[in-house]
Amino acid sequence: MKEIVVTLPDGSNKTLQDGATVHDLAKSIGAGLARVSIAGKVNGEAVDLSAPLKNGDRVEIITEKSPEALEIIRHSTSHLMAQAVKALFPKAKVTIGPAIDNGFYYDFDVESPFGPDDLERIEAKMRELAKANLTITRQVLSKEEAVRLFKEIGEDYKVELIEDLDADSVSLYDQGGFVDLCRGPHLPSTSFCKAFKLTSIAGAYWRGDENRRMLQRIYGTAFADKKELDEYLARLEEAKRRDHRKIGRELDLFSFSDEVGAGLVIWHPKGAMLRTILEDFERKQHLKRGYDIVLGPQILKKELWERSGHYENYRENMYFTEVDGQSYGIKPMNCLSHMMIYKSQLRSYRDLPLRFFELGTVHRHERAGVLHGLLRVRGFTQDDAHIICTPEQLDAEIKGVLAFVSDVMGIFGFDYEMELSTRPEKSIGSNEDWERATNALRAALEGSGRPFEINEGDGAFYGPKIDIKLRDALDRKWQCATIQCDFTLPERFDLTYVAPDGERRRPVMVHRVILGAIERFIGVLIEHYAGNFPLWLSPVQGMVLTVTDAHIPYARSVCAALCEAGIRVQHDFRNEKLGFKIREAQLQKVPYMFVIGDKEVDTETVTPRFRDGSNLPAMKVTELIGFLEQEVKRFN
């Protein structure tokens, strides 16, 4: 019989019979490997264990410990969930069910919404189907055959998906008679779905279109073993405890109101103070790095947005209004005003680089279904800056922004990852300009010494970008800082500078944010710190507490001295027990409590108490002020 030779990851070769599958290869290497194998990788592409091999293939066996395993496990578990739903709710129609960062989801068209009890029933059915060890098999049908099959079983959404595919054939997966459309790969059987949990229910429009039917989305997660699942569920509970919307209410930081409008934040006194602290921090950090503070208008003529390309490529995210018969766009970003500042006078190479910084409030039309507390809003403020420089200065400016990001994230205690996002399908500008911009960002990233990933096709419509994703205390990733390199808008707005030879040259523009949207960053900070802000960032830094009414006069003088020194302090002089007042201040996550009793009045001191319950020795008010100022200076 004919033989084939395949190459293993270590470079060694393995001889197999013609027609051998990935699983046959695993068995030939060892029975132990065959037992734990779940899929394969052939010439860099993930495939099922049943996939046939060809002579010359480079093959890797994927086990539960492989980096690729989790996505396969989660995707297969989403199919298991769909099978369970169909078994319990035969009239349900299935749509799509992908693996996502923290698990998976599947959308269903059902007669009535799912409830918590339904989740328990579905999960129990999933365990039953997993225990049944149903073989998962792949088959390929022509597009016409697949359409006919799904029409026969009444799965209209699958028919729509197939008809929209630009392909002659499609792959389907069958497990115990449940058939689903999917590229795969999948686990070899349902028994490999060992550790899963359904976590929540939400509504979702079909294909994200508000004009289409609202579906029921079930979220879940899955892991290779129960220990990993239990650890994740514990983190999930902690994430619920840290939810910025919950903490925001408890600390009275902000609110939303249907009367005001969805996605529009109302900042309460303590929340507004938190914003002010952050914004003052931002101004200070930018000024010491050579940025000029600028301000642009909230609305600009529609013609300007047409010229920039925003009207053609971004108008679905914009709001428009009319003044005196003239159409205006409410700005979704700040770059146009900054370019107009640049154009307001003739510029020389000696003037460059120019760094324009604006805490600019912008508005973007976000769909109601994606709004989420402070993390996704319609009106927000960006720490937006635009660096206009010569092409020769570009590398140093990008590296300067990367260093800026590193410094600031260190202050907040964030680690982060970086991605280089390249040209999207919907974009403007020449291939040459895109290549120059992408190469400039890549070179700066390589020079930074930090690892980065390539995110193909996810750049801005006018240029590639570096996306910086923070990792918080629960190891979750958040997109905040971004650096975009743009040769296109300077061309469209005819930005020039006078070069050393007297000729007019075209500058390049770097769009960048450090924290990103202030609203989003505050939401991330609340969850990162669980509301326990460091002293420098706390809206209320200390609470003066009296033991009895007799201590109020001295306590007032302490408050006055602290306020005079710039310490953000409040007081609780209520006729309540001290223990009650301390618990109230702890619930408000105030960093320090300053207790005033007989001893403090007699010695003209204050006894500081940390929010964790520990105490410092009694000290004079001047000592206390010096102590607090020293702690704040460590972060500023």
Domain ranges in the chain are: 3-63, 69-242, 263-297+332-529, 535-633
> pLDDT tens-digit profile of 144-161?
999 999 999 999 999 999
Query: Is-contact 170 180, C-beta < 8 A?
Result: no
* pLDDT at residue 251, as a whole number: 97
**Are the C-beta atoms of residues 134 and 190 closer than 8 Å to each other?**
yes
Q: Is 430 exposed, middle or buried (0-12, 13-18, 19+ CB in 10 A)?
A: exposed
186 is catalytic: no
* pLDDT at residue 1, as a whole number: 63
| Active-site choice (511, 581, 589, 609) | 511
CATH number of 69-242: 3.30.980.10
Beta pairing partners, 465: 421, 484
Catalytic, out of 48, 57, 384, 472: 384
Q: For the residues of 138-164, what is the DSSP string, one character each?
A: EEEEEHHHHHHHHHHTT-HHHHHHHHH
> Under a CB-based contact definition with an 8 Å cutoff, are residues 378 and 363 in contact?
yes
Q: Which of 158, 217, 347, 386 is catalytic?
A: 386
Q: What one-character DSSP code corresponds to residue 367?
A: -
CATH architecture of residue range(s) 263-297+332-529: 2-Layer Sandwich (3.30)
CB atoms within 10 A of CB 287: 12
Looking at residue 636, its pLDDT comes to 63
Judge whether 393 counts as a catalytic residue: no
> Catalytic: 288?
no
Q: What is the DSSP letter of 23?
A: H
E strand segments, 465-549: 465-471, 477-486, 497-498, 504-505, 508-517, 542-546
Q: Got the DSSP string for 163-226?
A: HH---SEEEEEEETTEEEE------SBGGG--EEEEEEEEEEEGGG-TTS-EEEEEEEEEESSH
DSSP assigned state of 243 = -
- Which amino acid is it at 374? L
Of 617, 620, 383, nearest to 515 (Cα)? 383
- Identify the segments of the chain with pLDDT beneath 70: 1, 635-636
Question: What topology does CATH give the domain 535-633?
Answer: Rossmann fold (3.40.50)
Structure tokens belonging to residue 164:
């929209």
For residue 549, indicate whether it is catalytic: no
N-to-C CA span, the chain:
75
Assess whether the region 3-63 and the region 69-242 belong to the same CATH fold: no
Catalytic residue selected from 194, 364, 423, 609: 364
Going by CATH, does the domain composed of 3-63 fall within 3.40.50.720? Answer: no
Q: Tell me the one-letter amino acid at 620.
A: K
**Residue burial 331-370, b: 16+ Cβ < 10 Å; e: rest:** bbbbbbbbbebbeeeebebeebbbbbbbbbebbbebbeee
Catalytic hit among 338, 465, 568, 609: 465
Cα dist from 472 to 451, 459, 530, whole Å: 18, 24, 11
* Active-site residue flag, 465: yes
Q: What is the pLDDT of residue 633?
A: 84
284 is catalytic: no
Q: Of 20, 257, 222, whose CA–CA distance to 102 is shortest? A: 222
